[in-house]
Amino acid sequence: MPKSKGKYRFSFGPWNIDEGGDPFGPTVRTPIALAKKIKTLKGLGFDGIQFHDDDAVPDLDDKSHAQIMAEAKKMKKILDSEGVKCEFVAPRLWFSPKTIDGAYTSHDPAARKYAIERTKICIDINNALETSHMVVWLAREGTYIRESKNPVEQTLLIRDALNAMLDYDKNLKILVEPKPNEPVDSAIISTIGHAIALGYMTNHPERMGCLVETAHSILAGLDPSDDMGFALAHGKLWSVHLNDQGGLKFDQDKSFGSYNLRHAFNQVRVLEEYGFGRNGEWVGMDVKAMRTQKQTANTKHLSNSLERFHFLLGKAVTFNKKLEAELIKARDYEELDRYTICHLMGMKY
């Protein structure tokens, strides 16, 4: 098999081994301690962990800065002892009663101040865990009804917040993870185009990148591999959250390739064609186990996602490029479609 151009290492977050609760019913699996999740990670084929700030340091709003830093350093030791790297720390700005009406874009100046202060703590945790990458998912920066916020002001408030973060730490790199809806009805930074444009509005576009998540692209009605390609063309695809999504529903975070194998193939293919990971980018699996899954099989979604990634990588590197070029030249896309399907399904061609 031809050698792959990409350099892949994989990560997930503690929220990706969950208890199966949903808005309509309680949890169905018992919680797994974070230490155990970290221990499990390598055995599942992963090398890195992603954190929200309060995954790394629980209840941080009630702790002093010194206490937060001491706990973050302790977490670094735990990761080191397991040989696990931290990919990023993301501020969890959607949980506090202070951010009900948004964080950086709240109408309440006290809420906006809280959001910035909390993000600075998140940056400090990033540094303690020796990562310079902070992911920002702008969960509550949007509206439930259009009239409640001014979209121009919202955009500028987010830009100002990003500038404050970039000024706070000169080595910080920010990856904006867009999502069009959920929890809000309409997010202001809804697609990868918005995320990249936002970066260019800041004082340090060179430290602004983005993260494409499969499900979020699908929720925006877009093709995730095209979103990845658009970000790659800008040199801004600094991480991905692979998963799957059955159309315009709630954010499902299904196992990678679970719904649409061809979509999944094209995501792996575009990453592979552009040597993803060569600059240290990680492949994150932001996947969730089905609620029906029993306690004893609560990590299959992670290993299954990884297995499919590797299988589809094999399909990407063995895709007949010469034939592809010939069929494109002949504008015989029906035949290219047939070849692609035959290749993916292992049919004789």
Residue ranges binding ligand XUL (CB under 6 A):
90, 135, 137, 177, 179, 213, 241, 251, 286
To ligand XUL, the closest distance from the beta carbon of 319 in angstroms equals 29
Residue 286 in contact with Mn ion, rule: CB under 5 A = yes
194 a catalytic residue: no
The closest residue (CB) to ligand XUL is: 137
* Cis amide leading into 183 (omega within 30): yes
Give 52 or 112: the residue with its C-beta nearer to ligand XUL.
52
Residue 288 in contact with Mn ion, rule: CB under 5 A = no
Distance CA 157, CA 311 (A): 43
Helix%, strand%, coil% for the chain, nearest 5: 50, 15, 40
To Mn ion, the closest distance from the beta carbon of 135 in angstroms equals 8
Residue 323: how many other CB atoms lie within 10 Å: 14
Listed ranges 2-10, 42-50, 111-119, 238-246: which one lies at the site for Mn ion (CB under 5 A): 238-246
Interface with Mn ion (CB under 5 A), residue from 241, 269, 288, 301: 241
Look at residues 254, 61, 103, 65 and name the one whose alpha carbon lies nearest to residue 188: 103
223 a catalytic residue: no
To ligand XUL, the closest distance from the beta carbon of 335 in angstroms equals 38
Residue 87 in contact with Mn ion, rule: CB under 5 A = no
Q: Please name the amino acid found at residue 112.
A: R
Give 140 or 315: the residue with its C-beta nearer to ligand XUL.
140
- 76's CB contacts (< 8 A; 6+ apart) are 86, 128, 129, 130
Look at residues 199, 189, 284 and name the one whose alpha carbon lies nearest to residue 235: 199
To ligand XUL, the closest distance from the beta carbon of 87 in angstroms equals 11
Residue 309: how many other CB atoms lie within 10 Å: 22
Token representation of residue 300: 């299959």
Task: Give me the catalytic one of 52, 133, 194, 263.
Answer: 52
Residue 227 in contact with Mn ion, rule: CB under 5 A = no
Cβ–Cβ under 8 Å, residues 267 and 309:
no
SS3 of residue 206 by DSSP: helix
Distance CA 273, CA 269 (A): 6
Give 88 or 104: the residue with its C-beta nearer to Mn ion.
88
Binding at 141: pick from Mn ion, ligand XUL, none (beta carbon under 5-8 Å per type): none
Residue 253 in contact with Mn ion, rule: CB under 5 A = no
Cβ–Cβ under 8 Å, residues 161 and 119:
yes
Task: Give me the catalytic one of 54, 55, 227, 286.
Answer: 55
Distance CA 128, CA 84 (A): 14
To ligand XUL, the closest distance from the beta carbon of 152 in angstroms equals 25
Give 287 or 317: the residue with its C-beta nearer to Mn ion.
287
Q: Rule CB under 5 A: which residues touch Mn ion?
A: 213, 241, 286
Catalytic residues: 52, 55
